[in-house]
Structure 1
């Protein structure tokens, strides 16, 4: 598989296997990262029933204290995860691949404010509002056709929808509105 194919945007129908895959990976990560992990959640589109998604399991892990990336790199060194970057302050991002294809994303955040993070609010709002799941699925399929080899363009195309849903979720919970690209 070429590097270009590696990053193709591939949206597939929802699979109930995704939650089982998360459960397996959660147990592995708890064994590797204990005692650092305070909470671990299945996030991203694969965590939302009936949501079409890229078949990559997103995992959000809260740690008591966010340590230097090198500590997590060392702990995860034999697990298939590699450090990708921070992208935003106050987090670490790792990816796992199998046969040259990404299978998991691991986001590590500090515990403080973890359950008020936009990623979890977005997931929970879509789980509670299936009509948004349908809209989001249509948008994702359209964007995947427009940006098949441009993951950044695909992500930018989702921003307005994600912002609208996060605003609704934050308003519903009495939280201040935040730009989805700022943590």
Structure 2
């Protein structure tokens, strides 16, 4: 594995567990087992590494949602699969957690890939809501854009509730309620 990949993988874990703002380049170097020269060769500034990690986590999230939906016959089942992504809410969302990190949201270069990931996911969900309406598995009264935004907010909120309460049941109740609302 090349040093760039080692650095990114180490940063993904550290940023997730410790936060972007509170993780130093030195901690990333130590975790990755690389020297300062290698680190700064690949990432001249910590923000450069942050952008790459946020982008990768966003791509990973969208890919995992697409994979969970793949092959499911109805739009409603695909939406249920998305809601099921909060099935391990105590672990938290690897992209949503960045929205609480001041070092991410205060830096436009870091906030942009975070927003882009959520925008892509919202677009995917909007498409699936339309498909579910077309196949008759959710209410035709639902506005696809609003419903997509709501479903994303429910899942992200489910992660927050589960972590705050220490109970997966908090997330499960939120996602079950959202699924019931799809019926209009």
Q: TM-score, normalised by structure 2?
A: 0.26
Higher strand share: 1
Higher helix share: 2
Tell which structure's C-alpha radius of gyration is larger: 2
Q: TM-score, normalised by structure 1?
A: 0.26
